[in-house]
Structures are given as C-alpha cells and as structure tokens.
C-alpha cells in the first residue's frame, strides 16, 4: 500500500454538533470552580473599572476642563489613572488564572483521550491512520487550549461589558443610545453569515491537517520501502497534493474568518459617525453636553470593542470547536471488547485451550476463519502452519482476545474466554510477534517491560534463555545501551531476540510464538530452540512458523488453508498422510 492511502478519516466537512461540543467543554471547565470563580470576580471588577473611566471623563470635561479648574482636573486625572491601573492589574490576573484553568482542563482531556485509546481494540486502529490519531492528540487539543486560554474569560468579560455599557449609555442619554444600537442588527446579520461559512472551512482544515499528519507518518515509517522501489518522486507528488489541499482549506478558513474583523470595524465606525453627528446636532440645540458626547464616544468604543474581540476570536473558537469535536469523537468510541458482568481474574491458568466452530472476519461480510475447531492440552506445543493469509495469526489474535469471534466458542480451562477479565487474561499469555516493537530506552528497560518488578539478574537470565545475552554483552554499554526510534540502531534479528527475552521474562502460562525466529539466522535459531525447551516446559505453546523444520517436535500440527483446518496430527503422521502438509514440507526440503 502506498503511503498516505489512508487519508480519508476524520470529521466531515461540516462540524455537526457545535452546541453539544461547547456544552461538553464547559463540563470540564466547571471542575475548576474555585479558580474559575476567582477569575470571574476579577472580570466583574475590571469591567466596573472600565465603565467608570468614561463616566469620570465626561464629568472631568463638563465640570473641570470647560470651567478651567486646573486643580480639579489634576485630581480627576489621578483618579482616572488609579481606575485604569486597577483595571489593568485585574485584567492581567484574570488572564493568568484562566491560563491555569485551561492548562489543567487540557491536561484532563488529553489524559482521558489517551486512556480511551488504550481501551479500544485493534479493530479500531485497523480502520484509522495513526497520523490522524496523533493529530487529534496534539494539534486538535492544542487548538482547544488556545481557545480556552484566550476566549472563555474574554467572552464573559465581553458580555458583562456590553450589558454594563448599555445601561450606562441609556442612563446618560437614551436618544444617543438608540442611535448607537441601530447598527447592531447589521452586525449580527453579517457575523452570523460569515461564521456559518467559516465554521465549515475550519472543520475541513482540521480534517486535512489530520490527513497530512497521517501521510507523513506513513511515509517516514515506510521510507525503506519507498527507497527500495524508487517511489520518492511519486511520494513527494502525493504529499504536494495533500499539502495543497491543506493550504486551500486553510486559506478559505482564514479568509472567510478574516472578514469578521474588517466588516465589524466598518460597522463600528459607521455607528461612531452616527453618534458624533447626532450628538453634535443635539449639542447645538442644548440637548446634551460636550462631556456627555465624549463619554458616549468612549462608551461606544467600549461597546463595540468586545464585539470586535469576539469576532477576531471566532477564528480560534471555530478551529477549537472543530478540533474538540474530533477529540470527543474518539473519546465517545465504545470499546467492542468489554469485561462481561461477573468476569473473574485469570490469576493462574493451566493452559487447556479449545476452539469450537469459531468464525471470524475483520469485516463481517468477509470471514477469515470459517468454523475452526482445535484443542491444546496443558503443556502441549501446538503448531499452526499454512500459506500466508490462511488465518493462522487470526487464530492467535482471537485467543489473545485482541478481537472477539463472530460465532463459536473459545474455552480456556473449561471456561469461556469471556469469563476472564481481559487485562488478566492477557497477562497470562506471552506473545512474540513477527513484527517486533521496542520502546525508547535501554535494552534492560525493554526486556523488563515483560515484568516491571523484575531484578537485573532476572532480566539477564531471560536474555540468556532467548540467546540475546551473547550480542548484548558485546555492545559498548551492554544492557544500558539506549534503543532509539523503535530500535533502528539494532538489526531486525537483534530486536527480535530482545522481544523473545521480554516474553521469557513475563513467564506466562500460555506462550505464543508468531514467526518469532523469522529474522534470525539458522545458527542463532538453533540456540533459541534449545533455550525454548526450558521455556515451553510445563506451559501451553502455540507456534506459527513457515520453516517447518522448527516444528517437527510439536505435539500437534494444525494445517490451515483458507480459514479451515485441512489436516492435523504429529509431524510423522502428516508426512505419512502425504497431504497438504507433506507437500509444504517437501517444497522446503527437496530439490
């Protein structure tokens, strides 16, 4: 599959649940009640101080400036300075408090999102690009953080200011107040139309950003394959197309969102012109004073300023709502693998396993497993063989309960697999996958991942059983060697040995080896097989192997073809039958 092929996931072009999303964000903010109340109190007092300023400006002009009272003017100037300084301090304090609220809220949402991701089954991740999921955890939540830190208190402050200014304006002069409000319907109409268009574009931009992240993640992960097949230019061309889609959607979002500021500024200036013109006419006829007009001009700026601020914040708010909706979409995913009521802990299991008529498909309309029945007794080694895509790994996934079967029964120790708690069951099953993954950290830490409380001696003993100790002791820092970027400083075979050592340390009751030695040379494989004799003793082991020489001593070999068991028995029995297994074996060991 070429990189970037899976970039169709994410929200639709229009956010569908804006109101619900905003209300849900508010439920998180309410958890910080004390800090939020303190911030609101600061907003209240800062709003009061902002309203007092224009009022005393009008008094200063009418009662002191026009009558040339210098001392009175100085006193009023000092009073105004105190008012504006106090307002500035309270504004800074409310912003600082809101930053703390927003960061704690974002921390909670991010933790809940990350926790949700770890409750979902592999089926969920099969259908989504990891880059898009990363974009939701990082970019979308960052957009929400920006909106919370800038917008929540600003919205509350703006509403208080608008209400307070309206009351003050009507108290001063009701005629000029009505003139000021004439432009409000025009402002509401234009803002509503612009927001309707821009909200769709911001949702589309977030979707395209997730697509871009998904493509980049796949291109970097598959760099070796891209280089091997010489697809650099095609990859760059596809990236340019996705990047251009993001650019176009971002331009549309920012362009439409950017209309709000200039349009509202024009409407504000229009309202200010009406106030000054009407005030001048009224002043000539003795219906008002210069101080009242000056106060009204200041109040009108205070009235329209929060509206302008809200307009400018709409870009941030729309982007945040679109991002929050994408985040909540994941958080609302219902895990399809749940512990049923009454499930018991799997503290220790004997390892008797039985499949009875099991059917399964990653997509319901396309079954991979078609009514398989098999049995493994405690302590036995069971091998699963067959061509690629026959369903071997799927059987292991069902046993590990990475997925739930569509029908049939899976039993472990005379209990259905659903009778055990999922997390406990998986602790009793050790798995070495064909595709190994190592975390950033030391080799010691990666092996200890199989048993977090293991001592250094236990880790080293597990490495020796897995034949990993031999290469580790020749590294410059031995077990303290740092593994970077998933283990790129180690060979594939070395990574697989560490993965095997991790499973050895886990000391599980059931062991699964899914092509565990596929990347290891024959000599090392022989050493591992000798070590595995001690590891598999007394525990049920399932082995998937293409090299049939490695499973000749298995207690029972099940041959899978197209989701069905076509043969089963010991190596000698299957060879004598001269059936499917015999043909596979002969194809590997005859010339």
Q: What is the CATH number for 270?
A: 1.20.1560.10
pLDDT at 517: 62
Q: What's the pLDDT at 420?
A: 81
User: Quick one: average pLDDT of 270-295?
Assistant: 75
Grade residue 527 by pLDDT with cuts at 50, 70 and 90.
Answer: low
Q: Are residues 422 and 492 in the same domain?
A: yes
Is residue 533, in this structure, part of any structural domain at all?
yes
Residue 343 lies in a domain: no
pLDDT category of residue 485 using cuts at 50, 70 and 90 = low
Contacts for 474 with CB less than 8 Å, ≥ 6 apart: none
Q: How far apart are CA 58 and CA 553, in angstroms?
A: 99
CATH of the domain at 542: 3.40.50.300
Is the pLDDT at 110 greater than 80? The verdict is yes
Q: How many domains does the chain have?
A: 2
* 471 has a pLDDT exceeding 60: yes
Under the banding of pLDDT at 50, 70 and 90, the label for residue 476 is confident
What is the reported pLDDT for 529? 65
Tell me, yes or no, whether 272 and 364 share the same domain.
no
pLDDT value of residue 229 = 62
Question: Same domain, yes or no, for 507 and 427?
Answer: yes
**The pLDDT of residue 290:** 75
pLDDT of residue 13: 35
Q: Which two tokens stand for residue 63?
A: 């009662």
In this structure, are 177 and 253 located in the same domain?
yes
CA atoms within 13 A of residue 187's CA, in its CB half-sphere: 23
Q: Phi first, then psi: give them for residue 375, nearest 5 degrees.
A: -145, 140
Mean pLDDT of 34-47: 83
478 or 258, which is more confident: 478
One domain, residues 395 and 302: no
Q: What is the pLDDT of residues 438-464, one digit of tens each?
A: 777 888 888 888 878 888 888 888 888
How much is the average pLDDT of 151-174? 76
H or E segment at 561? strand 556-561
Residue that is written with structure tokens 């709502």 in the block: 321
- Same domain membership, residue 525 and residue 437: yes
Q: In this structure, are 262 and 394 located in the same domain?
A: no
pLDDT in tens, 390-410: 888 888 888 888 887 788 888
pLDDT tier at 14 (50, 70, 90 boundaries)?
A: very low
Q: Do the domain assignments include residue 341?
A: no
Token pair recorded at residue 86: 């106090």
Band (pLDDT 50/70/90 cuts) for residue 6 is very low
Domain with 28 in it: 18-331
Question: Is 60 exceeded by the pLDDT of residue 182?
Answer: yes
- Model pLDDT for residues 348-386, shown as the tens digit of each residue: 778 888 888 888 887 777 888 888 888 888 888 888 888
- Is residue 340 a part of any domain in this protein? no
Same-domain status, 207 and 60:
yes
Tokens 């790129």 label which residue? 488
Question: Is 193 part of any domain?
Answer: yes
Strand order in the sheet with 369-376: 369-376, 353-360, 407-412, 415-416
How many percent of the chain have pLDDT more than 70? 85
Q: Quick check: 12 pLDDT over 60?
A: no
Residue 483 falls inside a structural domain: yes
The backbone torsions φ and ψ at residue 552, rounded to the nearest 5 degrees and listed phi first, read: -60, -30
Domain's final residue, options 331, 362, 382: 331
Name the band, by pLDDT with cuts 50, 70 and 90, for residue 34. Answer: confident
pTM for the model? 0.62
pLDDT at 8 over 50: no
Q: Read out DSSP for 155-186?
A: HHHHHHHHHHHHHHHHHH-HHHHHHHHTTHHH
3-state secondary structure 60-122: HHHHHHCCCCHHHHHHHHHHHHHHHHHHHHHHHHHHHHHHHHHHHHHHHHHHHHHHHHCCCCH
Residue 578 lies inside a defined structural domain of this protein: yes
Query: Which of the listed residues 331, 365, 395 is the one where a domain comes to its end?
Result: 331
- The residues facing 567 across adjacent strands are 559
- Phi and psi dihedrals of 84, rounded to 5? -70, -35
Q: Is the pLDDT of residue 1 over 70?
A: no
Residue owning tokens 């493994």:
376
Lowest mean pLDDT among 242-246, 275-279, 311-315: 311-315
In the chain, the percentage of residues whose pLDDT exceeds 90 is 0
Q: Distance between CA 473 and CA 255 in Å, rounded?
A: 61
Tell me the average pLDDT of the chain: 77
Residue 347 lies in a domain: no
271 shares its domain with 364: no
Q: Confidence band (pLDDT; 50, 70, 90) for 587? A: confident
Average pLDDT for 566-572: 85
State whether 308 and 400 are in the same domain.
no
Mean predicted confidence (pLDDT) in 312-333:
76
Last residue of one domain, picked from the residues 300, 331, 362: 331
Stretch 254-275: mean pLDDT, rounded?
A: 73
Residues 327 and 376 in one domain: no
Question: What is the Cα–Cα distance from 423 to 445, expressed in whole angstroms?
Answer: 22
Whether the Cβ atoms of residue 291 and residue 58 lie closer than 8 Å to each other? yes
- Phi then psi for residue 129, to 5 deg, are -75, 130
pLDDT above 70 (res 419): yes
Whether residue 448 is found in the same domain as residue 310: no
Q: Per-residue pLDDT for 555 more than 80?
A: yes
| pLDDT interval class at 306 (50, 70, 90) | confident
Range 66-93 average pLDDT: 84
Instruction: Identify the residue with better confidence: 181 or 411.
Output: 411
């Amino acid at each position: 599959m070429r990189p970037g092929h899976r970039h169709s996931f994410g929200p639709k072009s229009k956010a569908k649940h804006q109101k619900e999303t905003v209300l849900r964000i508010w439920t998180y903010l309410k958890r910080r009640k004390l800090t939020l109340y303190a911030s609101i109190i600061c907003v209240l007092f800062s709003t009061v101080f902002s309203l007092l300023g224009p009022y005393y400006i009008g008094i200063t002009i009418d009662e002191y400036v026009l009558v040339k009272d210098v001392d009175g003017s100085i006193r009023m100037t000092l009073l105004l300075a105190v008012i504006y300084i106090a307002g500035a301090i309270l504004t800074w304090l409310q912003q600082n408090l809101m930053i703390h609220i927003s960061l704690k809220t974002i921390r909670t949402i991010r933790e809940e999102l990350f926790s949700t991701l770890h409750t979902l089954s592999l089926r969920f991740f099969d259908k989504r690009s990891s880059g898009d999921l990363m974009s939701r955890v990082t970019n979308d939540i960052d957009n929400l953080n920006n909106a919370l830190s800038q917008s929540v208190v600003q919205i509350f402050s703006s509403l208080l200011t608008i209400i307070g200014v309206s009351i003050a304006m009507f108290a001063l002069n009701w005629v000029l107040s009505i003139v000021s409000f004439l432009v409000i319907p025009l402002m509401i109409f234009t803002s509503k139309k612009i927001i309707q268009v821009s909200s769709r574009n911001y949702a589309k931009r977030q979707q395209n950003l997730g697509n871009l992240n998904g493509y980049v993640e796949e291109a970097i992960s598959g760099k070796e394959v891209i280089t091997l097949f010489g697809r650099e230019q095609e990859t760059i061309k596809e990236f340019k197309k996705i990047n251009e889609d993001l650019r176009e959607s971002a331009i549309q979002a920012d362009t439409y969102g950017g209309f709000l500021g200039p349009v509202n500024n024009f409407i504000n200036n229009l309202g200010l012109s009406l106030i000054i013109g009407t005030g001048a006419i009224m002043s000539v006829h003795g219906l008002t004073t210069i101080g009242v007009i000056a106060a009204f001009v200041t109040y009108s700026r205070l009235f329209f300023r929060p509206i302008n601020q809200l307009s400018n914040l709409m870009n941030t708010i729309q982007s945040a709502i679109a991002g929050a909706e994408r985040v909540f979409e994941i958080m609302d995913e219902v895990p399809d693998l749940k512990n049923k009521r009454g499930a018991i802990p799997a503290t220790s299991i004997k390892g008797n396993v039985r499949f009875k008529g099991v059917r399964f498909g990653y997509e319901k309309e396309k079954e991979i497993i078609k009514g398989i029945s098999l049995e493994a007794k405690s302590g036995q080694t069971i091998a699963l063989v067959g061509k690629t895509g026959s369903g071997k790994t799927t059987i292991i996934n069902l046993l590990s309960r990475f997925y739930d079967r569509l029908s049939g029964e899976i039993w472990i120790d005379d209990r259905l697999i659903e009778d055990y708690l999922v997390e406990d069951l998986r602790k009793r099953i050790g798995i070495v996958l064909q595709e190994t993954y190592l975390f950033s950290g030391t080799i010691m830490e990666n092996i200890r991942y199989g048993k977090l409380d293991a001592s250094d001696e236990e880790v080293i003993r597990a490495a020796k059983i897995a034949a990993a100790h031999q290469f580790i002791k020749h590294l410059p820092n031995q077990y303290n060697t740092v593994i970077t970027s998933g283990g790129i400083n180690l060979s594939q075979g070395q990574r697989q040995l560490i993965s095997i050592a991790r499973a050895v340390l886990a000391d599980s009751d059931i062991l699964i080896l899914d092509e565990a030695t596929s990347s290891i040379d024959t000599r090392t494989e022989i050493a591992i097989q000798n070590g595995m004799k001690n590891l598999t003793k007394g525990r049920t082991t399932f082995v998937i192997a293409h090299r049939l020489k490695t499973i000749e001593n298995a207690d029972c070999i099940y041959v899978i073809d197209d989701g069905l068991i076509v043969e089963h028995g010991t190596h000698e029995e299957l060879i004598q039958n001269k059936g499917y297994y015999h043909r596979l074996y002969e194809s590997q060991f005859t010339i």
